[in-house]
Structure 1
Amino acid sequence: MATVLLVRHGRSTANTAGVLAGRTPGVHLDETGREQVRAVGERVSAVPLRLVATSPLERCRETADALLTGQISAVPLTVEDRLTECDYGAWQDGRIAELAKEPLWRTVQEHPSHATFPDGESLRAMASRAVAAVRDLDRRVEEEHGPEAVWAAVSHGDVIKSVLADALGAHLDQFQRIVVDPASVSVVRFSSARPYVVATNTHGGDLGWLATKVEGAGTAASVPGGGVGPTSTSPST
């Protein structure tokens, strides 16, 4: 079963301005964000990635470039439209403080499966295409490189939260319980039986253990006690 690193883009100029950027072009990483993604590239450098797939938006492309820079060998880069940010419609470019006063805000927070942004996309549609993209790409990576392969998907907070909710078997209405910070790395390992959520929202620690064989992977990973884990260094979060 292949393993995907779900990497949120580093802090952007819109994040610091308190603006819901959505799909607005020209939103880049700020100085802190550039430092964050440099550190992520170092964390992932010990893991031979087989593929980096990214949202087409600039802040994700810049984050993906940092992952590629840290790799010893050349890694294919795929721009995947299904990993792009939610289409926030009329909310795009709005100030978060003002949007929070809208009646829809409460629905987004408490019942996101019922939320559709005016002139935009529903959160349910966003989740559906993001989950499909990750599962499709994961299947492709495993077919081409085998079950121990590791790859990365670079995307946005809500998109990654929806993928994690699916992997956890949680309803989309629970996805606001999941925290995905800028430049964080979450890890999901897929299998024919179920996905395994290995780590969420990590910010530090060497990820080289992902390059080692995991004892007790597959169905044995869900035995009482949880299995023995990687054969080398334990995951650091």
Structure 2
Amino acid sequence: MAKTYLVRHGESVANTKGIYQGQTFNTPLSDMGKLQAKALAKYFGGVEIRKILASPLLRTKQTAQEVADLKNIEVIDTLDVIETNHSEWEGVNKKIIEEKWPDVYKTWMETPADAKFPKGETFLETQERIINWWEGMTKNEENTLVVTHDNIIRILVAHALGLLLNNIWKFELNPAAVTVIETNGNNQRLIALDEKKHLQNLLVDLKKHAF
């Protein structure tokens, strides 16, 4: 039996501007995001973890490194948990996207399982990538911290709960909040979703972010 701690990176500079980042618009943490990452490290001070994995983007690595420094554990770059490839949306404000690609944006917000990002991944391709990684990773049965992205965690929560992919917008995921899935062989159980007590006064307005 093992626990996987899934963490969305701290708030990034692009988050504050409502810009889609995807895989190529690689902005660092905002000042608030840096504070969130430090608070996250304190949270894990009393939590037993053996391994830290992170998406190889700056915002995730910066977040993970705060915990790694405290726990004296190396951060392992993990390409499999990188953000969805939004391609032409990357580096673009969500308001412009809604105007330029209204049909695609509407699909993404209402039926994400049908979403195909212009010249990028379909969301089903993202799901396949993540679930294939998850099924291999959880065989190790080690308590693991995975610092990744909003979309990736939503896929894994839906998978753990047996939800259809179109239900991913039904719950919040805050920057530097903690979601925990316990695995035992082929069985898995969601035991925490968007845990944010450690963030106290560090929560931000999610409506400003681009998802």
2:34 is aligned to 34
Q: Distance in 2 between matches of 1:110 and 1:32?
A: 30
8 Å contact 2:25–2:91 — kept in the other structure?
Answer: no
- What pairs with 1:139-218 in structure 2 (closer than 5 Å)? 139-140=139-140, 142=141, 149-205=142-198
| Secondary structure class of the residue paired with 1:70 | helix
8 Å contact 1:13–1:30 — kept in the other structure?
Answer: yes
2:103 is aligned to 103
* Structure 1 length-normalised TM: 0.79
Q: Distance in 2 between matches of 1:173 and 1:54?
A: 26
Q: Distance in 2 between matches of 1:47 and 1:121?
A: 35
CA RMSD of aligned residues (A): 1.5
Task: Flag the structure with higher helix content.
Answer: 2
Q: Distance in 2 between matches of 1:63 and 1:205?
A: 14
CA offsets 1:178-213 (integer angstroms, 9 cap, x no match): 22111111000012352100010111259xxxxxxx
CA offsets 1:119-163 (integer angstroms, 9 cap, x no match): 0001111122122223322212x1xxxxxx421111000111111
Q: Distance in 2 between matches of 1:198 and 1:92?
A: 33
CA offsets 1:46-75 (integer angstroms, 9 cap, x no match): 11211111100000000110111221xx32
The runs of 4+ residues in structure 1 deviating greater than 4 Å are none
* Structure 2 length-normalised TM: 0.88
Q: Distance in 2 between matches of 1:133 and 1:65?
A: 22
* CA pair 110-25 structure 1, distance change in 2 beyond 3 A: closer
- What pairs with 1:120-135 in structure 2 (closer than 5 Å)? 120-135=120-135
Q: Distance in 1 between matches of 2:48 and 2:135?
A: 20
Give the number of the structure with larger relative contact order, counting CA–CA contacts within 8 Å between residues 6 or more apart: 2
